[in-house]
Structure 1
Amino acid sequence: MPSFDIRTADLRAVNSLTKYPSIPTYHALDSRDGGLGEEVVPFTGAVTLTEKVDGTNSRIILTPDGEYLIGSREELLYARGDLIGNPALGIVDALRELAERLRAEAADADRVTVFYLEVYGGRVTAASKHYTASRQVGHRLFDVAELDRWADLLALPAQRIAAWRDGGGQRWLDEAVLVDRAARHGLATVPRLATVDATELPRDLHKTYAFLADLLPQTRVALDGPAGRSEGLVLRTADRSVIAKARFQDYERTRRRRTGSR
């Protein structure tokens, strides 16, 4: 296998290869008005429910040459040893120490490993007030991808890399391995709320909203002060082949538009 060198690698390709894919809403979202329809993402078997934390999607990319990159959802912000990093949303400051530790503990010369974390609190989003009263910043792991064929993938044209990613090409750790990996590295994950059979999931809009409210009357990841509102749920099959999100705001917006209330 060719050797990887972060100084000569096509970082635009690395960025595209390691972006987190978009997650559909559990009830289909109408792009015209932001309302939810009746159709739901179909699940079968066991479904793990985790809290969706309202922060910013971030990633730590461990490269085969023992280096690392830190990125937001859309762009790379910092490489190990940089004198100046992009300060966007405080992601680099929040994750640099963790990245150094993961580099020592989890780097693999045979693959690219990507840890996906939600950075929240501080001044990250308008919802930060629900997690902290003193501008503390936290992070929670929600997924890990391992890319074994990185050399072949990085040689592809940009459009094919994007199509591979959006078509489900990334290999994700399944639920049991993810939880074990997080424990091994002392990483807090997004809260596991329940595992239910897919037949137990509500399909009606009103019942789904009630289901959210019952599971998450408030966030479970408050950093200090009283716990505020949660953003919602993420639903996953154990192997992560099916994934969807259910956000309070989507159901509330739909209800307002259907009833004409504000």
Structure 2
Amino acid sequence: MTKYPSIPTYHALGEKGALLEQTVNFDGEVILTEKVDGTNSRILLLPDGNFVLGSREELLFAKGDLIGNPALGIVDALKNIADSLPQSQSGIIVTYLELYGGKITSASKQYTAQKNVGWRLFDVAVLTDIETLFFKNVQQLAAWRDNGGQSFLDEQQLTQAAKDYGFALTPRIATVAALPVKISETHEFLKATLPQTNVALDPGAGGRAEGIVARTISRSAIAKLRFEDYERHAHRRGK
């Protein structure tokens, strides 16, 4: 019900990860934010004052638990933060955070040389009509989620939520009228727009960014542009 849906790549992926010319269609201005290479974490704020922490795939800890799942360091990093957040007034509010640095991923050294850990808010969903959702089975919930069933805040609401909760957002890089369409031009655009990460945690960090998440202001369209995908495509073309 609260698992974060997969974000499609801007250029579609073909066989063995090859990029295709087909792109996600953006109708209107496009907000570009940095995609941070960490682990997808979620805080579920419940209307009864309780909270639940989770990774993208699993629920790890609930308020009052004596023992939590230590996977990826999510509980240790976010337990006290979650306990200080205001409870939901209706339904379930899910804050989605990218937890990064430390020893979380192989890219952690790009953000820290001292094993520091940070987090950035990148989305918030508000789930209502919970009783109806609990009547769905796992397959039905997955189909509901993957077809846009979750209700996410738009950009203005997300900015306000970040202030209310005391979270820093993933860096807003630029707002553009449109994205390039050709693969090679998009790669050059990516390099020019995000030459290094904006969320390094200490001076010794490597500084390489993972990529960009592009979305419309209303969040009606969203896609990711990763350096890895475009570099792999360029390498293959070079052969």
Q: Provide TM-score, normalisation by structure 2.
A: 0.97
Give the distance between the partners of 1:187 and 1:109, measured in 2 at CA. Answer: 19
Correspondences of 1:1-262 after superposition (within 5 Å): 17-30=1-14, 32-102=15-85, 105=86, 107-198=87-178, 201-227=179-205, 228-260=207-239
Does structure 2 conserve the Cα–Cα contact (< 8 Å) formed by 1:66 and 1:108? yes
Provide Cα deviations, 1:131-155, integer angstroms capped at 9, x if missing partner.
0010000000000000111111112
Does structure 2 conserve the Cα–Cα contact (< 8 Å) formed by 1:142 and 1:190? yes
Match of 1:3 in 2: none
1:207 is displaced (CA, Å) by: 1.0
1:64 is displaced (CA, Å) by: 2.1
The aligned amino acid for 2:17 is G
Give the distance between the partners of 1:197 and 1:134, measured in 2 at CA. Answer: 39
Give the distance between the partners of 1:175 and 1:160, measured in 2 at CA. Answer: 28
What RMSD in Å do the two structures reach over aligned CA positions?
1.0
Match of 1:9 in 2: none
1:178 is displaced (CA, Å) by: 0.3
Q: What's the secondary structure of 2:49's corresponding residue?
A: coil
The aligned amino acid for 1:28 is A
Q: What's the secondary structure of 2:84's corresponding residue?
A: helix
Give the distance between the partners of 2:59 and 2:165, measured in 1 at CA. Answer: 23
Q: How many residues align?
A: 238
- Unaligned 5+ segments in structure 2 are none
- Unaligned 5+ segments in structure 1 are 1-16
The aligned amino acid for 1:168 is G
Does structure 2 conserve the Cα–Cα contact (< 8 Å) formed by 1:234 and 1:243? yes
The aligned amino acid for 2:229 is D
1:65 is displaced (CA, Å) by: 1.7
Identity %: 59
1:86 is displaced (CA, Å) by: 0.8
The aligned amino acid for 1:252 is E
The aligned amino acid for 1:137 is V
The aligned amino acid for 2:238 is T
Runs (4+) off by over 4 Å: none
1:162 is displaced (CA, Å) by: 1.1
1:205 is displaced (CA, Å) by: 1.0
The aligned amino acid for 1:45 is G
Provide Cα deviations, 1:49-75, integer angstroms capped at 9, x if missing partner.
000000001100011221111000000
Give the distance between the partners of 2:11 and 2:118, measured in 1 at CA. Answer: 29
